[in-house]
Structure 1
């Protein structure tokens, strides 16, 4: 009977633990329901990852590829290689692509010429494919050479998983047999959600003027001419549009059969900017749609804005309990004070602020040999989240700040060193 009662008690304890654990797990999963093959939301200022879901898998990115074309265009303008007023003469390639009604395009005249600014606005607002190719040809001479520039720039920016095969993000099968040489007929641009977020961040960081165009809800191409066409922004999360979201001002949608419905969106509220990326978003029935990608983006942005706030984890000059100093060898004093060089601030979940902690990692082996300079690097501080994991950033770094010496320590003179050696020798004898 006693054994029976013990088993009943044990099973009761197991049942209670299970009941306590299961709701917590469900709650964590329901905090941010994202129906997409991959998703990520980051703090745009620092690149800190607030949430990631399969964000390192390389998938098709469709027209979000145009963000790299935009980056190279801004760079070429900045370097004086091209200007907004430069005229592009339409080629047979761009003419034929622009007439394809299956694609997002502004029709180009076979004998027409268009300014870089016109082509850029069509690319950024309407995701116009022929206009994008026209910019690529202007900068590099051919789309093939431009694609090489895209891949090279990706590596330069630290985006190591990018695979660009054209300037637009279309599947090569839509390029009427004129796809860049050396790329497969059915190839498509590929990248992870994390890398798309990084590309979005560097584009906004280096060329924030992109947002002035990306946030335009609609614009008339070649207004007042027989060729005018109304360009409605595919990003309908912009204010006043179907799926508007307060603070959204960019950045780029993408849709192909392989990529599904994708989006790299950004919004700013109260001085805080977030970047959210979804790849192949679907609804509750598993069907992809424009609404599905914006619903997924909304969930990510809500999570970032509502669940996180920026706080200062450690102050500049702060010391570490139990490790306020490091020993000094051959110095005028035996210890040197160490402290944090710069403050550490990051986005933390409001409900879990007290659960974030720091770890001191000393890179300089103790003791340090004098002479010791003030501000000499001796280590760094890592920040761990409530689960004990390092808080991650897009570039692979972790939130850390340098730990340095807080004072200088001169090297002891010859007499002092000799006396110390003698004392150490005597101590060794006993």
Structure 2
């Protein structure tokens, strides 16, 4: 008995040690495969000093997370905040407030802001009319603070504080739960020398957000306003062409094809840098049917401008890993399919994200087909891909029901008549069996169950069974 207890304790100890050893090994393996290691293995020269504070990669169609590292760390996004301002500009155009050809007459304040050396700007001259289209290019290519302010004032008829409240309201609506905006451009209000001063808003506060929230914003921006990439993809563009105010703008997104860290398929979104935020990067790239969105925050230090390039090394490396591991593709065609041994009919083609060189698995729930995956959604407000379906047998019954409604009732009525007749005959035979039942002989050898009675039971059961079939599937004749 004592030996048995000792053996049980030894076995329990081995199991516990094995369990925690497995956890330690898995954690160690995961820790080694961090963003710095991935970037160095991709061939980029970098070190711990430049390692991002937070990062995330999501698939742009589904909003599913393919990579994350501290995605909910609160951070100053610097000029990436302009993406929220641009979202509100596109929304205003969609609501009919103005168009791309609408012009904004520059004010003395606008000209003064454009001349503040410490801010990223383009040239603005008071009294000149600037088309919305060109102001969008200035905002997204040149990262112009003055162009952003001019667009924000157009949306709200020069109510600067109202626009900030709109930014925060929109953030909540989109599911950006850890974001607060204090200015429209990413630069502290106090740095505008009083020329931009939203009433009641803290002038010295930095915008606050997270990698996850910026990914959510980018997801909705690209989904609702896909033309965004038209304004984020040029490496160089001239605005106010054929006027005395023509100006060439240069893009700071060095991952665009043709630039220093050119990446195949990259076409936006926005960079941002500041003394408190370091160097940040929001990017999107598309290869074949797969479009990805990534956010990289807090690369290096403002005092070392090498971080402006290093952010692209990290961004390219995790893009590479995500593109190599996952793809967005058609998983099931519209129409007849067999899923989990069930014959179903899909309302439309089903697309989703899957690891390359693997076979998808599916779930049937209520009237939806979903992908059985370990990937999570970047936000609970963004639902996982699904497609409606009907079971094939139910559809067949519906088709028979439709035929009935269209006047072809004869077969169904005839079927129910025969089913009922079988049940009636069954009961009749059971009754007759009582009449012809033999009296027991003196020896007691008479059979207890009459053949007529057995036949009656069979007819009743067949009639009931065929009636159930007719209701569930359709006429059997």
TM-score normalised by L of structure 2: 0.67
Measured against aligned partners, the alpha-carbon deviations of 1:372-404 in whole angstroms (never above 9, x if no partner) come to xxxxx3x6646232xxxx532544433445565
SS at match of 2:146: helix
Q: 1:169 aligns with which of 182, 186, 190?
A: 186
Matches within 5 A, 1:148-297: 148-177=165-194, 178-223=196-241, 227-282=245-300, 289-297=307-315
Alignment check: 8 A CA contact 1:201 1:275 kept: yes
- From the CA coordinates, give the structure whose radius of gyration is larger: 2
Whether 2:354 is the aligned partner of 1:348: answer yes
Query: Matched residues in 2 for 1:402 and 1:286: separation?
Result: 53
Determine if contact 1:260/1:288 at 8 Å carries over to the other structure.
Answer: no
Asked if the contact 1:276–1:297 (Cα under 8 Å) also holds between the matched residues in 2, the reply is yes
* Residue 112 of structure 1: aligned partner: 128
Distance 1:405 1:122, change over 3 A: same
1:391 matched to 2:380? The reply is: no
- Is 1:66 aligned to 2:55, yes or no? no
CA distance in 1, matches of 2:223, 2:189: 30
SS in structure 2 opposite 1:391? coil
Q: Say if 2:299 and 2:310, in contact at 8 Å, map to a contact too.
A: yes
1:65-106 deviations in whole A, cap 9, x for unaligned? Answer: 212222222232333312333332323432221110111111
Deviations 1:238-295 (A, max 9, x none): 1221221111111111111222211111112223221111111239x99871112111
1:195-249: CA deviation from partner (whole Å, max 9, x where unpaired): 2122222222222222222211112344566544432111121122122111111
Contact 2:255 2:261 in 1 (8 A): yes
How far is 1:338 from its partner? 7.1
Please say if 1:305 is aligned against 2:305. Answer: no
Going by fraction, where is helix more abundant, 1 or 2?
Answer: 2
Q: Give distance in 2, aligned partners of 1:85 and 1:168.
A: 22
State the 1:343 CA deviation.
5.9
Distance 1:287 1:78 in 2: 39
Q: 1:102 aligns with which of 89, 100, 118?
A: 118
1:170, CA displacement in angstroms?
1.1
Q: Distance in 1 between matches of 2:155 and 2:351?
A: 40
* Rounded Cα–Cα distance in structure 1 between residues aligned with 2:103 and 2:239: 15
Between 96-105 and 19-28, the greater mean CA deviation after superposition = 19-28
Q: Distance in 2 between matches of 1:402 and 1:181?
A: 49
In structure 2, do the counterparts of structure 1 residues 78 and 391 end up closer, same or farther at CA, with 3 Å as the change threshold? closer
Give CA deviations for 1:347-376 in whole Å, capped at 9, x if unaligned: 22336x35x654555x6xxxxxxxxxxxxx
- Report how many residues are paired: 383
Cα contact 1:320–1:339 (8 A) shared by 2: no
- Report the TM-score, using the length of structure 1 for normalisation: 0.74
Aligned partners of 1:199, 1:18: CA distance in 2, in Å?
A: 35
Instruction: Return the offset for 1:297.
Output: 0.9
Greater share of strand residues, 1 or 2? 1
